[in-house]
Amino acid sequence: MGSRYEVKYVRSATGPSVERVRAEVEDILAEIDRQMSTYRADSDVARFNALPAGSCMALPAPMLELVTFAGELSRDSDGAFDMTVAPLLDLWGFGPQSRGNQVPSAEAIAATKAEVGHQHLRIRGQELCKDAAVQLDFNSIAAGYAVDRVVARLGELGVASALVEITGELKAIGRKPDGSPWRVAIEAPRDDRQVAQKIIPLDGLGVSTSGDYRNYFEEGGKRYSHTLDPKTGAPISHALAEVTVVDESALRADGLSTLLLVLGPDRGLAYAESHGLSAFFVSRAGDGFVTRESRRFRELFER
């Protein structure tokens, strides 16, 4: 995933060694990398992406599960979430096949959008088929999925208390030896230094934060975020700088944080409320920021 991971766990007298846990974690990450990495030509997703329109390819069950999940998010958000935006990311200079950051022409965006859309995909048995030359990008959900896999494996190994973080997505289970919960900080949306916006306790919950303040470029005095709106084919341009989602599933939190960021401050909050999501929004307001919380977030953390 081109990033890092960290696993902290409370080891019991009969618990697994650090070496055992490291080997188990890296086996899971290596499997996901072989399947879903867009940065290696031999991955399953790279081979699928290279196929022309009208093709089908057998894929591992986890990939089909994630495609199904992504399709549900896409339909439920009227296309705000879409894992086929890889060509648009490349066009704007944020993807693995990009040629550097650039503001493309309206004609180039329109032409590229013709090859984007989850509606062009269908699952047939163990195969994934496409009726247009769409390309998959699992980066908006793969890390959350990996966190859930690692946490589940730790449980199978007898670990009852752990904090797992993979490329920024995380989940905590159990409590520390002193009985206190694992605590994590929601980072303020600053690109100059790391500042905690809010600190929350976790037990059995995953956390994902999506924002526009890390990966972006500026041209002509305008800021262009790596988060694209699939409908416009362009970077988001609203005031929402960051959104954090807390959910029992790190996978769901990962996908939903991206979805809400695309929707923006008002539509995102409305979506969170109507779906009972625990979400924390940070929007730009002049030279500062304003925060809003969904009802479910307040129920979990404002006691």
pLDDT per residue over 195-223, tens digit each? Answer: 677 899 999 999 999 987 666 677 777 87
Structure tokens at 45: 């997703």
| Apex 246 CA angle, 44 and 285, nearest 5 | 105
CB proximity list for 18: less than 8 A, separation 6 or greater: 11
CA atoms within 13 A on the CB side of 52: 0
Residue 176 exposed, middle or buried by CB count within 10 Å (0-12, 13-18, 19+): middle
pLDDT of residue 213: 65
* Backbone CA torsion sign across 102, 107, 108, 110: positive
Calculate the average pLDDT of the chain. Answer: 92
Residue ranges covered by each domain of the chain? 169-301
Choice among 90-94, 136-140, 157-161, 250-254 with the minimum mean pLDDT: 90-94
pLDDT per residue over 87-125, tens digit each? Answer: 998 898 887 766 777 888 999 999 999 889 999 999 999
pLDDT of residue 179: 93
Secondary structure of residue 225 in the 3-state scheme? strand
pLDDT per residue over 240-269, tens digit each? Answer: 989 999 999 999 999 999 999 999 999 999
pLDDT at 84 over 70: yes
Spatial contact of 16 and 35, defined as CB atoms under 8 Å apart = no
pLDDT at 4 over 70: yes
pLDDT of residue 217: 73
Fold (CATH) for 169-301: T-fold (3.10.520)
Percent of the chain with pLDDT over 70: 95
pTM of the model: 0.92
pLDDT of residue 225: 84
Residue 41 exposed, middle or buried by CB count within 10 Å (0-12, 13-18, 19+): exposed
Which helix H or strand E contains 216, and what residues bound it?
strand 216-219
